């Protein structure tokens, strides 16, 4: 369409903007000497809490239930028109 053609010509497209942004910030990257994230990291150095997060209790049940739901409703998937 016309609009699309215009957009494709547009120098200020997303990709161009990002490229310019990269050029602007490169070389001006401040490496914070006093790193602000040290505090946050302490939590993660303890693996047990991390593992608990990736494997919260009730996960097995939640998976089973979702699969069950999904299989029951699978056939009534919405089917409207395909588009691009």
Partner 1 sequence: MSSNKTIVWFRRDLRIDDNPALAAAVKDGSIFPVYIWCPKEEGQFYPGRVSRWWLKQSLAHLEQSLKSLGAELTLIKTESTLSALLDCINATGATKVVFNHLYDPVSLVRDHSIKEKLAEVGISVQSYNGDLLYEPWEIYDEKGQAFTTFNAYWDRCLNMKTEPISLLPPWRLVPAAGTVERCSVEDLGLENESEKSSNALLGRGWSPGWSNADKILTEFVEKQLINYSKNRLKVGGNSTSLLSPYLHFGELSVRKVFQCARMKQILWKREQNSQGEESVTLFLKAIGLREYSRYLCFNFPFTHERSLLSNLRYFPWHADTNHFKAWRQGRTGYPLVDAGMRELWATGWMHNRIRVIVSCFAVKFLLLPWKWGMKYFWDTLLDADLECDILGWQYISGSLPDGHELERLDSPEIQGSKFDPEGEYVRQWLPELARMPTEWIHHPWDAPLTVLKAAGVELGLNYPKPIIDIDTARERLTQAIFKMWETEAAAKAATSDGMNEEVFD
Chain residues that interact with partner 1, rule: CB under 8 A: 4, 7-8, 13-15, 17-29, 31-32, 35, 37-38, 40-41, 43-45, 47, 49-51, 53-63, 65-67, 69-71, 73-74, 77-84
Q: Give min distance, CB of 68 to partner 1, in A.
A: 9
Q: Give min distance, CB of 2 to partner 1, in A.
A: 13
Q: What is the DSSP string of 31-80?
A: --SS-TTHHHHHHHHSHHHHHHHHS-TTHHHHHHHHHHHHHHHGGG----
């Amino acid at each position: 369409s016309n609009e699309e053609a215009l957009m494709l010509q547009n120098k200020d497209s997303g990709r161009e903007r990002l490229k310019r942004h990269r050029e602007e910030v490169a070389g001006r990257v401040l490496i914070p000497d006093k790193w602000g994230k040290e505090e946050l990291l302490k939590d993660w150095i303890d693996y047990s809490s991390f593992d608990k997060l990736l494997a919260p209790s009730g996960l097995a049940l939640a998976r089973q239930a979702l699969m069950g739901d999904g299989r029951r409703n699978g056939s009534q998937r919405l089917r409207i028109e395909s588009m691009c």
